[in-house]
Amino acid sequence: MKNTISAVLIAKDEEALIGRCLESLKDLDEIVVLDTGSSDRTMEIAASLGAKVWQTAPTDPFHFAEARNAALDRATSQWALSIDADEVLSPDSSGLLRKAVAFTAHSSFRITFRFPGGREIQKRRLFRTSLYRWRWRIHEELVAVRKTGAVGDALEAVIEHHPKEGKEGPSERNLKLLHLAVVETPNHVKAWKKLGMEYFLRKNWEQAVRYLEEYVRKGGDRNPLEKSETLINLGLSYSGMDRIEDAVKFFEAASREAPDRREPWWHAAQELSKKAMPWAAIPFYEACLAIPVSRKPAFWLNLEPVWGNLPEEALTGAQAEVERAKAAYEAQKTRS
């Protein structure tokens, strides 16, 4: 069928969320749900809302790409919208998606993806079913199976992420799958970064450094802003290991990678201040403030406080701390 759209999702034990998700998809032509081993009412709820439901036996270790491809194989429309049970297609987005795919030469579209708190990025979520497959065990991505057209933007359409309470943060399943992924598919470069960040969230600094440095060595970040963020996280990890000199080297490298970002200088100053080294922190606060707000890059990982009054307040505090230390030293000399 030409220019029809199937919503395609995989789900397991999502009875609390899947109804809200599927209700938001009711104006599309088809909803395909592949249940990957639920023990709750996920399948029953999905079927009651008109979804075409299949179930596969639970697999351990899980393979996200294989599951998504199995779901995609059951879609009958020309286009597929990939969505998860903890996501919602915003009102009016179904009509916008239909306009996007009508008489287009594009093979896929980026859609606005909105996180709690309002942060937005663009993700390729709408694509021609015959032209794409998923790959990688975890943090899977779409790849073309044959020559495709250009990627279009349907950014007025919005998918909102509403995760389960407590879902955000370190995941033991993700940790297990990422360890498996870097062994099975060492060329899946993103897995090295994701594994490093799992350890970063756990404050296991040694392991974070191990995998983040390997990611950098493999040339994982081509975007300077993203690379600067990885280097900042390496700096924070080294600081967590009380290796402040190494930390500063990574913050400086992050600044060289993205000179318009204040964050590298800010983190360097903050970590030096935490180590009771305000005299060393001052030049970094000054470097942070030397970058005008007009040069702020459009980057979702930029921290709003860094571009407000906080750096100036921190610099004033650091300078005052240095003056107090000098005064204490002079008083001690006078007494002796």
> Has residue 258 got a pLDDT over 90?
yes
> Has residue 26 got a pLDDT over 80?
yes
Query: What's the CATH number where 181 sits?
Result: 1.25.40.10
Is the domain of 233 the same as that of 324? Answer: yes
Average pLDDT of 307-318?
Answer: 94
Q: Which residue has the tokens 């942070």?
A: 288
Q: What is the mean pLDDT of the chain?
A: 94
Does 336 map to a domain? no
pTM, to two decimals: 0.88
Contacts 24+ apart (CB under 8 A), 1-4: 1/29, 1/76, 1/77, 1/78, 2/78, 3/78, 3/79, 3/98, 3/101, 3/102, 3/103, 4/29, 4/30, 4/76, 4/77, 4/78, 4/79
Query: What's the CATH number where 136 sits?
Result: 3.90.550.10
The pLDDT-based confidence of 169 (bands split at 50, 70, 90) is low
Percent of the chain with pLDDT over 90: 86
Does 167 map to a domain? no
Task: Please count the CA atoms within 13 angstroms of the CA of 113 that sit on its side-chain side.
Answer: 16
pLDDT given for residue 321 in this prediction: 92
pLDDT given for residue 166 in this prediction: 60
pLDDT given for residue 124 in this prediction: 96
* Token pair for 174: 């993700």
Is the domain of 192 the same as that of 312? Answer: yes
> Has residue 268 got a pLDDT over 70?
yes
39 within 8 A of 65, measured Cβ to Cβ: no
In 10 A of CB 150, how many CB atoms?
9
Does 247 map to a domain? yes
pLDDT given for residue 328 in this prediction: 87
Number of domains in the chain: 2
> Has residue 168 got a pLDDT over 60?
no
Q: Which residue has the tokens 């009711």?
A: 26
Of residues 190 and 329, which shows the higher confidence score?
190
- Of 161, 180, 206, the residue that ends a domain is 161
Average pLDDT of 303-308?
Answer: 92
- DSSP symbols for 195-212: HHHHHHHTT-HHHHHHHH
pLDDT given for residue 119 in this prediction: 87
For β-strands 87-89 and 132-135, DSSP reports them as unpaired
The pLDDT-based confidence of 330 (bands split at 50, 70, 90) is confident
> Has residue 223 got a pLDDT over 70?
yes
> Has residue 1 got a pLDDT over 60?
no
pLDDT given for residue 186 in this prediction: 94
Q: What is the CA radius of gyration of the chain?
A: 24
The pLDDT-based confidence of 325 (bands split at 50, 70, 90) is confident
Q: What are the distances in angstroms from CA 22 to CA 15, 65, 83, 174, 208?
A: 11, 21, 10, 26, 38
> Has residue 290 got a pLDDT over 90?
yes
Does 107 map to a domain? yes
Does 152 map to a domain? yes
pLDDT given for residue 300 in this prediction: 86
The pLDDT-based confidence of 103 (bands split at 50, 70, 90) is confident
Is the domain of 153 the same as that of 214? Answer: no
> Has residue 167 got a pLDDT over 70?
no
Average pLDDT of 279-306?
Answer: 94
In 10 A of CB 136, how many CB atoms?
19
Is the domain of 183 the same as that of 296? Answer: yes
- Can you give the residue range of the structural domain that contains 216? 172-331
> Has residue 226 got a pLDDT over 70?
yes
pLDDT given for residue 266 in this prediction: 98
